[in-house]
Amino acid sequence: MISRFLIFGLLFLVQTITAQNFQTVEEVNNACATLGFSANEDAEIAVDKILDQIGLFRNFTIQECPNINNAIAKNITTSSGQKERYILYDNNFFNRIDDKAGSDWAAISILAHEIGHHLNGHSLNNEGSNHRFELEADYFSGISLAKMGASLEEAQSAIQTFRYEKATSTHPSKADRLLEIEKGWRKANAKKDLPEIKIIDPKFDIKTNDNNLEKSKEYLTLGYNEYEKNNYELASEYFLIAYQFNPTNQESLYYSASTSYLAKDYIPTINKFQKLLDLGFTGETTNLKVADIFKVMGLSYVALGEHKKALKVYADARKYDIDEYDLIVSEANMYLALDNKVKFREKMEEAILLRPNNPVLYFNLGVIYAEVDNVYKAEKYYKKAIALKPDYSDAYYNIAALVLEKENAIVNSMNEYIGDSKEDIERYDQLNEERFSIYREALHYLEKAYQFRVVGDVDKISTLNAVYEALGMEKRVD
């Protein structure tokens, strides 16, 4: 007989960092200053150096406070009702972070992060943290430390000490924060490496440089090289310089706009693409498409929170000779970026009417229906994608995921039959056999997903091996 046991879920315990909720300057003074804590000279020097990089003077108070195990940016009310900016920090917390990171840059990066909160206006309403605020402050921290001479490793050293990897309701994941610091760090260093040439402004008042074609080619090559290294900020600048030297080559401006978007510099993206449209860009002599211009402009407006302008972009696009399918897919992508899955689904179904043999469209609809727990339609669309593309690895894998989700209900039922009565034992064994039948059903799709996988797709390998193990099979793949 198969041994019966209670099946538990995993409980992750998150150690949270807390800070006293000071509301007034008097509370700060009472809790901190009367205990002999005041601004540490090293902290003040570090803050001033950070501000020196952007040409600002300190207009907030730096206050050391014990036992808050954190550093926080906060607007605090004075007795007269005025708001004053504070950065409160626990020096012991800084020391522990520096010790773990093995670098004095760790504490400096945290100070830069808090300054970023103040300069971005995050602390105005004292509403607490959210993902956008934290990432913007991380980005500022990366820029600041790069300008101060820190390496990328040093700029990221504080976040690297954090043990918890996943996102919480208030803070992004560790990986996302490290990436945002890297973006800021790379942007600051990119500016250092730029040649001494005046970059054209958003209005693009350009004079023809007929004698500089070789220079244009040189900077195009530099742009390509930086693009290959994912240094999009620097690539965008090089492409823009190439366009300056040869304004007849509109592809350079197209590449500059595209890499601005990849660098998340959305306003320059829009300005550059709009300039191309004003110039009458058609892309006829290249593989570049006008439809992609509208797509990226729309997504840029979405990223800026300008949703009405995004919709207007797609309305304007219909004035051009653009395939309706391309416009519908672009609008679908915009709605997906807005997390409007209903509209996304509607647009994708419109696209299918125009391209009924495109497997990707069916796959995307399958994903959307799976997210709203419509398993029947999700599986239907995945199977349609496979019918059109028999080697569609991701579609096989997602069907397997739908099958494996059935296990949850069975596991919950099994946990209700842990007793020693004959009825409990028989029911438990019956449910366990149903569980194994789910594994066997999923196995067919997982083996297909593995067969057609992209090299290096570890998820498909690990899931297939897990099912082999659950079924007691000795077979393994790698």
Radius of gyration of the chain (CA): 28
Taking the chain (478 residues) in consecutive chunks of 10 residues, what is each chunk's mean pLDDT? 33 32 53 44 76 74 71 73 75 68 78 82 65 85 88 88 76 85 80 48 48 84 90 89 87 93 87 90 80 86 80 81 75 77 84 87 85 85 92 91 83 70 76 83 90 81 87 86
Cβ(337)–Cβ(304) below 8 Å: no
- Cα 345 → chain centroid: 23
Where does a domain end: 141, 157, 191?
191
In a domain, 241, yes or no: no
- Within 8 A by CB and 6+ apart from 67, the residues are 20, 90
In a domain? residue 305: no
Is residue 461 a contact partner of residue 450, using CB atoms and an 8 Å limit? yes
CATH of the domain at 417: 1.25.40.10
Within-domain flag for 217: no
Report if residue 332 sits inside a domain: no
Q: Of 163, 191, 219, which residue constitutes the final position of a domain?
A: 191
CA distance 51 to 49: 5
203 phi, psi to nearest 5 deg:
-80, -15
Q: Which of 191, 206, 240 is the last residue of a domain?
A: 191
Residue 71 covered by a domain: yes
> Is residue 465 in some structural domain?
yes
- Asked, for residue 346, whether it belongs to a domain, the answer is no
* DSSP letter (8 states) at residue 88: E
Which residue segment(s) compose the domain that 389 sits in?
357-478
Domain count, the chain: 2
- Specify if 205 maps to a domain: no
Q: Does the predicted model carry a pTM greater than 0.75? A: no
What is the structure's pLDDT at 220? 92
CA distance 187 to 381: 42
pLDDT of residue 24: 56
